[in-house]
């Protein structure tokens, strides 16, 4: 497969694919003899698709390396991989909770300005109080 095809399939940009190759996250990719363009073999493409999934969850390059390092360990690699995925799931839960607070803040600010536009001083005051409470969580 070409780099463009792998990029579309994995969701990773072409520069990211080149970077992952440069840092050794994926093995050196064979080149077409005539054009010199990268040609990805199916096994590498499977690895790249997994890395694309991990990247989409915000997994670090360090954790991607650990993931790849433990894949061939069988049962011995299961515990470290379980811990890696649990740790990343917990990180994502924290990020989602913070995103919910940010969303709440924005909606309350919209409510506040809506109340001001309507001339509803009580609704504006309530929104300001709630915004102030949410700001402490940010």
Q: In order of start, what are the domains of the chain with their CATH numbers? A: 1-56 (1.10.1660.10)
The 10 Å Cβ neighbour count of residue 48 is: 25
* Residue whose C-alpha is closest to residue 104's, from 68, 130, 128, 122: 130
Q: Rounded to the nearest 5°, which phi and psi values hold at 31?
A: -115, 145
Q: Model confidence over 102-122: pLDDT tens digits?
A: 999 999 999 999 999 999 999
State pLDDT tens for residues 39-96: 999 999 999 999 999 999 999 999 999 999 999 999 999 999 999 999 999 999 999 9
Angle at which helix 75-118 crosses helix 121-137, to 10 degrees, equals 160
């Amino acid at each position: 497969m070409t780099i463009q095809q792998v990029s579309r399939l994995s969701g990773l940009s072409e520069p990211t694919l080149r970077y992952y190759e440069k840092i050794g996250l994926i093995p050196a990719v064979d080149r077409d003899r005539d054009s010199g363009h990268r040609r990805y073999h199916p096994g590498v493409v499977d690895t790249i698709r997994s890395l694309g999934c991990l990247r989409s969850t915000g997994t670090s390059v360090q954790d991607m390396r650990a993931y790849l390092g433990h894949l061939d360990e069988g049962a011995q690699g299961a515990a470290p991989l379980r811990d890696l995925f649990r740790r990343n799931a917990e990180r994502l839960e924290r990020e989602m909770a913070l995103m919910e607070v940010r969303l709440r803040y924005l909606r309350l600010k919209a409510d506040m300005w809506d109340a001001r536009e309507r001339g509803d001083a009580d609704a504006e005051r309530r929104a300001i109080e709630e915004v102030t409470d949410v700001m402490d969580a940010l």
